[in-house]
Amino acid sequence: MTATFDKLKAQLAEKKTLTNEEVAAAVAADGEMTDEEKMWLEAERLKLSRTSTITLEQYLEASKVLDTAPEGSEEYKKAEEIVNRYESGQ
């Protein structure tokens, strides 16, 4: 395994997301990855993007929570994160 792959794999596991810019920066800093590493990384990115997509129903439910929960509460913060992710297209 290359150092670039190890670095990006750890970053993906921690953040659950990885942008093309982050990949390009890691490659520029630490060198190219093998084709197998690139395929594995892209497959994991795709799998995580599918499982972390916010549905319209989740968004609407979270919006209701924002209207009713006390601002700053744990419930409010979780709902706010869902709304922000949905509205930003993540």
Instruction: Report the C-alpha gap between 79 and 76 in whole angstroms.
Output: 5
**77-83 contact pairs (CB < 8 A, 24+):** 82/54, 82/58, 83/59
Instruction: Report the C-alpha gap between 62 and 41 in whole angstroms.
Output: 31
Domain-wise residue ranges, the chain: 3-51, 56-88
Instruction: Report the C-alpha gap between 45 and 61 in whole angstroms.
Output: 27
pTM: 0.58
Q: Which residue, 4, 53, 50, 59, is CA-closest to 27?
A: 4
Residue 69 and residue 79 in contact, taking contact as beta carbons nearer than 8 Å:
yes
User: Over the stretch 7-58, which tens digit does the pLDDT of each residue have?
Assistant: 999 999 888 888 889 999 999 999 999 999 999 999 998 887 766 678 899 9
